[in-house]
């Protein structure tokens, strides 16, 4: 109620003072039965999405190996230190 007073009036959907919704008059509907989706691959669309996911993971791993630099950072640092005349 303080919020409504701060807004300067009553909102059309605001409950009246002292009258709260109870029982089945809450304005919501009930779910007649529990929803249990099928588990696993139930439809062709599920199989396609699963295959696309596997392909994306495999392609990502292949690209990570294929595009990896030839030299490691420690090796490059060691070469740079040797060119400057320092030993690590």
Per the domain annotation, does 69 fall within a domain? yes
Band of residue 66 on the pLDDT scale cut at 50, 70, 90: very high
- CA–CA separation, 86 and 39 (whole Å): 63
Tell whether 1 is covered by a domain. Answer: no
Number of structural domains found in the chain: 1
Report yes or no on 35 lying in a domain.
no
Alpha helices (runs of H) in 1-88, residue ranges in sequence order = 2-7, 44-66, 73-83
pLDDT at residue 52, as a whole number: 97
Q: Is residue 68 part of a domain?
A: yes
Q: Is residue 5 part of a domain?
A: no
74 within domain boundaries:
yes
pLDDT in the model for residue 48 = 93
Convert the pLDDT of each residue in 47-64 to its tens digit.
999 999 999 999 999 999
pTM for the whole thing? 0.44
Note the pLDDT of residue 57. Answer: 98
More confident site: 12 or 74? 74
85 lies in some domain: yes
Domain extent for 54: 44-88
| 48 within some domain | yes
The predicted-structure confidence for 12-55, as pLDDT tens digits, reads as follows 565 556 666 666 666 666 667 877 877 877 788 889 999 999 99
pLDDT at 74 over 90: no
Contact 27, 21 (CB under 8 A): yes
């Amino acid at each position: 109620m303080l919020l409504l007073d701060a807004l300067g009036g009553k909102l059309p959907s605001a409950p009246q003072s002292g009258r709260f919704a109870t029982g089945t008059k809450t304005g919501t509907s009930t779910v007649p039965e529990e929803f249990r989706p099928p588990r696993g691959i139930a439809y062709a669309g599920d199989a396609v999405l699963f295959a696309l996911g596997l392909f994306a993971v495999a392609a990502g791993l292949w690209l990570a190996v294929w595009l990896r630099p030839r030299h490691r950072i420690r090796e490059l640092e060691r070469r740079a230190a040797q060119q400057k005349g320092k030993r690590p």
